[in-house]
Amino acid sequence: MRPTRRRTRLLLAAPLLVAALAVPLGVHAARGADSGTGEEPPKPEPAGSECRTSIQGSRVVAYCHNPYPSTDLVRLHTECDRWWDVDADGAAVAVEPGRTVRLEDRCWKEVATAWVSHRPAPL
């Protein structure tokens, strides 16, 4: 019986030992101590159009303005309220720097929700 008790104690203590060793390593890696440099990574440039969406009855209109120096691709998504009405995902439209575009869509009846998605244009 004695070897079984010893084995049980070792099996119960093993996860605690592993956790005690793993936590300091995780903290060390999270702080970036292994990177070797004290510099912060470069911050990404701001990008993305600012869009305003309005719903009036069965129509959706979105205006997107791009104040940043890179081209942005925007797409209007419309979800219709009725189960038989077809939801729509519009084509991607390029918004060049300093430009404003108008995106339109409609449902047969009421509009449930509408939103605009963004992604950077390929270079």
pLDDT, tens digit, 9 for 90 and up, residues 17-69: 666 665 566 555 566 555 556 678 788 777 789 999 999 999 999 999 999 99
User: Please, what's the b/e burial string for 109-121 (b: 16 or more CB within 10 A of its CB; e: otherwise)?
Assistant: eebeebebebeee
Cα–Cα distances in angstroms (integers) from residue 53 to residues 19, 30, 42, 101, 103, in the given order: 51, 40, 33, 12, 9
Alpha-carbon distance of 61 to 59, in angstroms, equals 7
Tokens of 99: 């430009």
- pLDDT, residue 28, reads 58
State percent of the chain over pLDDT 70: 74
* pTM given for the model: 0.63
pLDDT higher than threshold 90 for residue 114: yes
Give the confidence band of 113 by pLDDT, cuts at 50, 70, 90: very high
**Higher per-residue confidence, 97 vs 9:** 97
How far is 104 from 53, CA to CA, in rounded Å? 10
